[in-house]
């Protein structure tokens, strides 16, 4: 890469970012340390630390306390403007999805009255990335089986249950996971996560589900296609998985 008039540390960041993108530093590999960067580029360790901090903040690297920085796995894209299955999206991206059904029971719910309570842990390539708690209307989902709940709910709703899923409303916020959530998502350190509180509706407006879903912040990028008011679906649909 040809050096330019940008500050030296920025040029080094661009160079290292490109090296990660090109696979020179493969996923999961330990990244050069402050000392390594200082020696390579003839810079101070303070500058090297600043460079590493930027790459960590961008999600390209993961810092492990007392060990060093490691190259992060590719981010999973979560399109909040389309009703697409997590299973389908993961496979499209070249990952192997897996769902571990932790709870499947009938409960009383304030908004749904009788509801099916599902707790699911979603993984890609063996790494847990989503911790989901969802309540489904029992009146609408009586035919749902444990086997169906262990796969794509969207496919089960649209297919076996014959439901016409309309839209969803959601609120997305950054949170720090509690002890239980850190354990479920196998987080070795406190990593910011993205919490989605949402409700899904049938095409006729009936409430179908209420959810509280936690996404690993170091593995997901949220995006939406936006446009002029009235012409965008961004922010109105949520993956029902």
Asked if residue 207 lies in contact with residue 170, where contact means CB atoms within 8 angstroms, the answer is no
Residues 192 and 171 in one domain: yes
Say what angle helices 45-57 and 34-41 make with each other, to 10 degrees: 120
Residues 86 and 180 in one domain: yes
Q: Tell whether 228 is covered by a domain.
A: no
Per-residue pLDDT of the chain (241 residues; tens, 9 = 90+): 455 667 888 889 989 988 888 888 887 789 999 999 999 999 999 999 999 988 887 778 878 777 888 887 766 655 554 445 666 666 666 677 889 999 999 999 999 999 999 999 999 888 898 999 999 999 999 999 999 999 888 889 988 999 998 888 989 898 999 999 999 998 877 778 889 999 999 999 999 999 999 998 877 766 665 556 544 444 333 343 4
Residues 39 and 148 in one domain: no
Residues 34 and 129 in one domain: no
Q: Of 21, 37, 71, which one is at a domain's C-terminal end?
A: 71
Domain around 18: 8-71
Q: Tell whether 236 is covered by a domain.
A: no
- Strand bridging mode 113-124 / 127-137: antiparallel
Residues 42 and 89 in one domain: no
Residues 47 and 161 in one domain: no
Q: Tell whether 127 is covered by a domain.
A: yes
- Per the structure, how many domains does the chain have? 2
Residues 100 and 205 in one domain: yes
The per-residue pLDDT for 70 is: 84
Residues 87 and 131 in one domain: yes
Residues 181 and 81 in one domain: yes
Question: In whole angstroms, what separates CA 86 from the centre of its chain?
Answer: 10
The per-residue pLDDT for 17 is: 86
Residues 132 and 217 in one domain: yes
Q: Tell whether 62 is covered by a domain.
A: yes
Q: Tell whether 21 is covered by a domain.
A: yes
Lookup result for tokens 């989605």? 196
Is pTM beyond 0.75 here?
no
Residues 66 and 116 in one domain: no
Using DSSP, state whether 233 is helix, strand or coil.
Answer: coil
Residues 82 and 63 in one domain: no
Q: Tell whether 240 is covered by a domain.
A: no
Q: Tell whether 235 is covered by a domain.
A: no
Asked if residue 141 lies in contact with residue 116, where contact means CB atoms within 8 angstroms, the answer is yes
- CATH code assigned at 35: 1.10.10.10
C-alpha atoms less than 13 angstroms from C-alpha of 168 in its C-beta half-sphere: 25
Q: Of 71, 92, 119, which one is at a domain's C-terminal end?
A: 71
């Amino acid at each position: 890469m040809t050096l330019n008039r940008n500050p030296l540390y920025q040029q080094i960041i661009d160079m290292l970012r490109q090296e990660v993108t090109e696979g020179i530093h493969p996923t999961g590999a330990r990244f050069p340390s402050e000392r390594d960067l200082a020696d390579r580029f003839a810079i101070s360790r303070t500058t090297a630390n600043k460079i590493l901090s930027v790459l960590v903040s961008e999600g390209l690297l993961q810092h492990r306390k007392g060990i060093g920085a490691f190259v992060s796995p590719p981010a999973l894209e979560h399109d909040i403007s389309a009703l697409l299955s997590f299973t389908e999206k993961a496979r499209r991206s070249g990952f192997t999805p897996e769902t571990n059904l932790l709870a499947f029971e009938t409960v009383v719910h304030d908004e749904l009255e009788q509801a099916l309570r599902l707790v699911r842990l979603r993984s890609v390539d063996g790494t847990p990335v989503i911790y989901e708690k969802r309540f489904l209307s029992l009146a609408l989902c009586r035919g749902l089986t444990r086997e169906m709940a262990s796969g794509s709910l969207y496919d089960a709703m649209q297919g076996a249950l014959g439901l016409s899923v309309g839209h969803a409303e959601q609120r997305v916020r950054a949170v720090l996971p509690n002890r239980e959530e850190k354990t479920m998502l196998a987080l070795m350190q406190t990593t910011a996560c993205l919490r989605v509180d949402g409700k899904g509706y049938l095409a006729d407006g009936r409430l179908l589900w209420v959810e509280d879903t936690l996404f690993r912040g170091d593995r997901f990028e949220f995006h939406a296609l936006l446009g002029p008011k009235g012409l965008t679906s961004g922010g109105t649909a949520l993956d029902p998985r």
